[in-house]
Structure 1
């Protein structure tokens, strides 16, 4: 069986096993597990239920007066929240006023979504003249002062809350439009959208299937803020006296309380608290729903109690074994029995690395090779403490200079960046575009060594020149987008070796580079290893890189190391069948490339 067929079979088996265990969680059930969202949902449910059932829930009509109850205190007979200066029941007026708030929220959100989201989708997807016209209308609308426009509407039409909230929906639609358009513009350039076009999907299906899934999370958050703003606006309109005085509303109750603040100050608490808590609830539910839709219900999440139990068991296993190891004099890193898993359900973990043992000697360049998904990057990241949050270390240890880093997180943090450095796979995405190259290098070096800013600059300038950058002072003043990918990788190599580490972990360090630049970077890494006595772990799937750079190599397959040996011996006479298939496939690819070049 060739390596390609083996990989396909492994992936199909893994997908089938995972699909049996993983069950997609209902969004609402996941949302209820968030205490902030639960509070918001309960509060909004109570408020909206009271508004809809106001004729049956309110003890009094909104304008019923009882002069004997004027300014009655809370919890007085027949008046749970007290009465206002006219003897009207405050709780009943708030319940009746909820209807007006509900109408305002529905109108503002509906109008803003209808115009903002619709034109945002169209303008972002089709661009061109439609986008130019939509941008112009959006800019003009946003330039209008919102509250003054609403006051003008009241001047013309009188106290008409539905009409004024419709106008306000138009006023906030541009913010929704801009948000949706910006997301759609970024999504439409993705390769999966191009692939959907190639297979013949219509624009409507592409937008509905691919674009909307990217838009919905930010739209939900924006909608929550729109609803919160609608509550504030409808309350503010009545508070300043522009509403209909014959209709009960939250703002009208708040205005009456302000007018009577010295006589009955307690009456101010209820409408102010109701408006504030409603606004807060919309924001909390919106943010929680956004988080739920983005990730949490798309992947299995291990229960915290189960995660703690597994972590405690792994720690107990280390304590029962050895926390410190006396390695051979030339061994700097020893991985023993490392097992890593990822949640497949709320109570179960799928193991992806199975009891791996690995030794790296001082000054040695050790290649870790295997197909995608074999677990090689998991081992590399475990030595740095950079595994994803959902990963669970089921067992095993990572000994650096004889001490277990997994059993001592404080030591892991201490050696990371100073004695164990990292060279990433994507050089451009690992440099912050907001800062110059020099600022990032200096900050990292000072954090790792405590050297002065002047000393760090001098040291880095010399080191940049050593890694092949001709004008290091100019490069240090540049931003990441102003340098090439090859230069960015040299910058990251400079940052990795500047602190004087003893071990460097490089994850596919040449994958994102051109072939000619790859050779230069590999030669640079070899020279730095010899000059500084650096040990290196090179994670790669490229056997050519291993043959050119490494002293020893470990071959991984399905989460285990199937063979480990020095490079010459392994390439000349591999013992494992998988290693032989891997070498055969690599040589076939090299032969095809050579024929293509001819």
Structure 2
């Protein structure tokens, strides 16, 4: 099946809407009223001096404790001051410091959460200890102690409150930021050379926006109440400057003489707090409806250079050569042990094996995209005349996207839902190729056409949710090609697609290899895909390469019993062969890393195993340029492990 780039006639799809609408929760009548009230209160209090009927300090001793009249809409206080004017003017004294507290809380809490999520366990430990210290401090006692030390300075007091509130903000945002950094579109941004700051600003922070808005609305209401409480106790602005808490304190002193004094300020304060919480509730409901939070997992992408051994001489004809690669968990077991593979220019290397054998971990180590706490501990990864092991994050950014790119098995997750396809394509094009917006757009259209999209103009304007799975995977391939890389890592690129689309994507990859000289590392469970697309193959089991060589040599004359068992369990029956009543399967399961034996790791599942198999086994030459890690190769014994009912493949 070929991939066409010629325009064909299709039914006109609906154009993606460029009009952004408010979230459904913010379009509810109650939320609209709450928002209008908050806007009215903020604007009225901020401009009070220019439109209120009386100055806030103006006294009319002939109208002491008067009720509402045409001249004094809400009455007067004990000194004949207009309650309406003081209520409006005092609003900013309560609202302004509350906004300052919110700004300080998020100005400290958000960077801490982003820092801890990005840099892993050590940064998280440090930031979490600071947050726990702030949480342990009694807020009221700290605020009163601050007042006793520096005096009554409302803005300074609320800044201290914001610092104390930054701890719960950090705790709430940390888990979400860690979850967002596990998304494939964040890894795709890293692969495309996006720096740490830009990853946070473009991909992580937008995902935190709704949670930040919810917490900001709640903290705003809390800040108003705390400021009012402090002013009520006498720790507010100096007399005669009004504030809502001070007005309530004045009304409390005359509760029996004039109960009405308590009503205007109490109602306005209550309505403002209720409105802020209504906004928060609406935003929280919208967040739960559209973006459930997934279980967080911490990530980092660093090598550990101090434990790396000197590498051997690199084969001259290899584009990339991995020698004796070991990947392990901090204070834990190894996940990849002694992997050695070689990728020739313009060829496709297939990594195959059961789940849990280390294929993806090996592939991701080539780009330094390993989970937090996991690192390359030994070996070398030579590419372009340098060893990638031990490079800093900044040095790896120069490799990602420009020289080595990656596509994943879930295209809809690999694309950022916040941005259009055009934005996600043109940004790396401008970064990698140093061109302007118009040239970047033309290049993006060319790339979309190159990957077989027949309507690139429409796709460029679309968002990821408006694309099918196959089209999204084509966009991901185009995204990987923006930096003109020499090597493409394809981590099961067809797993999430239907059979027809799988064939189209494989045909596209084959065409790219043939026309552009691109090399590919293909991670797959499907031996049929590997046989169709790959030139070389490396069969992995329990973190080791147990057999390698050309696809023809390995699949036609498997030497390792595990490879033979995989081929026997392959559900693709060649045409003309008899279909068996039951497919063979491999007994047992892949052992967990902490239970890997010293000898052959397949011995417990192999019918050919002997006592010698429980001793360390080195890889031996096989298939001319390949290897096999077995002392009973199938070239001398052809029996594979018998199947058992219900055994896992």
Query: What is the TM-score of this pair, normalised by structure 1?
Result: 0.52
CA shift in 2, pair 1:32/1:224, >3 Å: farther
Give me the whole-angstrom Cα distance separating, in 2, the residues matched to 1:531 and 1:445.
Answer: 21
1:534 offset after TM fit, Å? Answer: 1.0
- C-alpha contact (below 8 Å) 2:305/2:390 kept by paired residues: no
Match for residue 35 of structure 1 among 100, 104, 129: 129
Q: Which residue of 1 aligns with 2:359?
A: 376
Give me the whole-angstrom Cα distance separating, in 2, the residues matched to 1:481 and 1:33.
Answer: 36
1:407 offset after TM fit, Å? Answer: 2.3
- For 1:142-541, list aligned pairs within 5 A: 229-230=221-222, 232-237=224-229, 239=231, 251-255=232-236, 258-259=238-239, 311=304, 313-314=306-307, 317-318=308-309, 321-322=310-311, 327-343=314-330, 348-409=331-392, 410-541=394-525
- C-alpha contact (below 8 Å) 1:365/1:537 kept by paired residues: yes
1:222 offset after TM fit, Å? Answer: 7.3
Q: Which residue of 2 aligns with 1:153?
A: none
1:411 offset after TM fit, Å? Answer: 3.6
SS at match of 1:513: coil
1:378 offset after TM fit, Å? Answer: 0.8
- C-alpha contact (below 8 Å) 1:418/1:449 kept by paired residues: no
Per-residue CA deviation, residues 500-558 of structure 1 (Å, 9 max, x unaligned), is 21111111111111101101110111111011111110011111110110011100111
- C-alpha contact (below 8 Å) 1:32/1:38 kept by paired residues: no
- C-alpha contact (below 8 Å) 1:397/1:407 kept by paired residues: no
Per-residue CA deviation, residues 312-336 of structure 1 (Å, 9 max, x unaligned), is 532xx34xx25xx753332100111
- C-alpha contact (below 8 Å) 1:406/1:412 kept by paired residues: no
- C-alpha contact (below 8 Å) 1:235/1:252 kept by paired residues: no
Give me the whole-angstrom Cα distance separating, in 1, the residues matched to 2:495 and 2:467.
Answer: 18
Q: Which residue of 2 aligns with 1:189?
A: none
Give me the whole-angstrom Cα distance separating, in 1, the residues matched to 2:478 and 2:363.
Answer: 20
Give me the whole-angstrom Cα distance separating, in 2, the residues matched to 1:83 and 1:547.
Answer: 78
Q: Does 1:546 align with 2:516?
A: no
CA shift in 2, pair 1:225/1:424, >3 Å: same
Give me the whole-angstrom Cα distance separating, in 1, the residues matched to 2:304 and 2:432.
Answer: 29
1:566 offset after TM fit, Å? Answer: 0.8
CA shift in 2, pair 1:444/1:42, >3 Å: same
1:220 offset after TM fit, Å? Answer: 13
Q: Which structure is higher in helix share?
A: 1
Give me the whole-angstrom Cα distance separating, in 1, the residues matched to 2:397 and 2:562.
Answer: 36
Give me the whole-angstrom Cα distance separating, in 2, the residues matched to 1:495 and 1:222.
Answer: 34
CA shift in 2, pair 1:505/1:219, >3 Å: closer
SS at match of 1:581: helix
CA shift in 2, pair 1:594/1:439, >3 Å: farther
Per-residue CA deviation, residues 398-441 of structure 1 (Å, 9 max, x unaligned), is 11023101222344221210111111211111112222212211
Give me the whole-angstrom Cα distance separating, in 2, the residues matched to 1:553 and 1:368.
Answer: 6
1:459 offset after TM fit, Å? Answer: 2.6
CA shift in 2, pair 1:468/1:34, >3 Å: closer
- C-alpha contact (below 8 Å) 1:31/1:38 kept by paired residues: no
SS at match of 1:500: coil
Per-residue CA deviation, residues 421-471 of structure 1 (Å, 9 max, x unaligned), is 111211111112222212211111121222332222223322322321112
Of 39-48 and 387-396, the range deviating more from structure 2: 39-48
- C-alpha contact (below 8 Å) 2:305/2:377 kept by paired residues: no
SS at match of 1:331: coil
SS at match of 2:490: strand
Q: Which residue of 2 aligns with 1:162?
A: none
CA shift in 2, pair 1:499/1:42, >3 Å: closer
Per-residue CA deviation, residues 283-318 of structure 1 (Å, 9 max, x unaligned), is xxxxxxxxxx9978x99x99xxxx99x93532xx34
Q: Which residue of 1 aligns with 2:138?
A: 44
- C-alpha contact (below 8 Å) 2:528/2:572 kept by paired residues: no
Give me the whole-angstrom Cα distance separating, in 2, the residues matched to 1:82 and 1:355.
Answer: 64
- C-alpha contact (below 8 Å) 1:506/1:538 kept by paired residues: yes
Give me the whole-angstrom Cα distance separating, in 1, the residues matched to 2:573 and 2:294.
Answer: 39
User: What are the ranges of 5 or more consecutive residues in structure 1 without an aligned counterpart?
Assistant: 1-29, 52-57, 59-73, 75-79, 85-178, 184-217, 240-250, 262-292
CA shift in 2, pair 1:43/1:570, >3 Å: same
Q: CA RMSD in A?
A: 4.2
- C-alpha contact (below 8 Å) 1:331/1:359 kept by paired residues: yes
- C-alpha contact (below 8 Å) 1:31/1:37 kept by paired residues: no
CA shift in 2, pair 1:595/1:528, >3 Å: farther
User: What are the ranges of 5 or more consecutive residues in structure 2 without an aligned counterpart?
Assistant: 1-123, 153-171, 177-209, 242-292, 583-649
CA shift in 2, pair 1:367/1:39, >3 Å: same
- C-alpha contact (below 8 Å) 1:353/1:375 kept by paired residues: yes
Aligned residues: 352
